[in-house]
């Protein structure tokens, strides 16, 4: 079984090797300590032929694992930061409630129109028919259609606004 370097010179050599392999001088000693722990655990069940190589390889693997974990944490953190900047273009709850109330008033107002005026108004506003098309379908003049739509529009505007 090969021996580990037991002197300070051997330790420094391992540190330099790990620092070069991981491009990280600051964490080289922490990585080497963690690799020693792994080596001690591994030696309980297996024989290590080259402990120095095992330490360097383990330190490099630990460094790569840490890099991956940091990258994932940074991605998650940036994703969370992005969520803060999302703009909701939808209406506020109070605005949606106001629109529902207004729509309810329009429905009530439609119920107060004469059946003929309501029919002509809905043909124009809901079905999207032009005045001449409505006139042809109902057998009335375009002028009559204009008057029904105007009457309904004026009434509903006043009804909704509470005039």
C-alpha–C-alpha distance, residues 5 and 35, integer Å? 14
Question: Model confidence at 4, in pLDDT bands (50, 70, 90)?
Answer: low
**d(Cα 73, Cα 67) in Å, to the nearest integer?**
10
Judge whether residue 80 has pLDDT over 80: no
- Answer yes or no: pTM beyond 0.75: no
State the span(s) of the chain assigned CATH 1.10.10.10.
93-161
pLDDT at 77: 56
Average pLDDT over residues 62-70: 85
DSSP the chain: -PPPP-SHHHHHHHHHHHHHHHT-STTHHHHHHHHHHHHHHHHTTS--S-HHHHHHHHHHHHHHHHHHHHHHHHHHHHHHHHHHT----SPPHHHHHHHHHHHHHHHHHHHHS-HHHHHHHHHHHTS---HHHHHHHHT--HHHHHHHHHHHHHHHHHHHHT-
| Most confidently predicted of 45-54, 61-70, 143-152 | 143-152
Higher pLDDT residue, 148 or 74? 148
CA-based angle 42:48:53, to the nearest 5? 100
| Cβ contact 141:135 at 8 Å | yes
Instruction: Name the pLDDT band for 140 (thresholds 50, 70, 90).
Output: very high
Any residues with CB less than 8 A from the CB of 15 and at least 6 apart, and which?
Answer: 28, 29, 32
From the list 60, 77, 69, 80, the residue with the least C-alpha distance to 17 is: 60
pLDDT of 1 reads 44
Q: Which fold has domain 93-161?
A: Arc Repressor Mutant, subunit A (1.10.10)
- Give dist(CA 117, CA 29) in Å, integer: 88
pLDDT at 70 over 70: yes
pLDDT at 67: 83
């Amino acid at each position: 079984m090969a021996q580990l370097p037991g002197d300070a010179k051997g330790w420094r050599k391992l540190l330099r090797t790990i620092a070069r392999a991981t491009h990280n001088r600051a964490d080289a000693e922490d990585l080497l300590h963690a690799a020693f722990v792994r080596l001690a655990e591994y030696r309980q069940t297996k024989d290590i032929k080259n402990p120095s190589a095992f330490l360097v390889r383990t330190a490099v693997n630990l460094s790569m694992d840490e890099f991956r974990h940091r990258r994932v944490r940074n991605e998650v953190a940036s994703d969370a930061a992005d969520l803060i900047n999302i703009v909701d273009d939808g209406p506020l709850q109070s605005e949606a409630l106001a629109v529902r109330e207004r729509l309810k008033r329009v429905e009530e107002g439609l119920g107060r129109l004469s059946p003929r005026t309501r029919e002509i108004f809905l043909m124009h506003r809901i079905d999207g028919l032009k005045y001449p098309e409505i006139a042809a379908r109902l057998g009335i003049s375009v002028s009559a259609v204009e008057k029904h739509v105007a009457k309904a529009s004026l009434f509903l505007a006043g009804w909704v606004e509470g005039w």
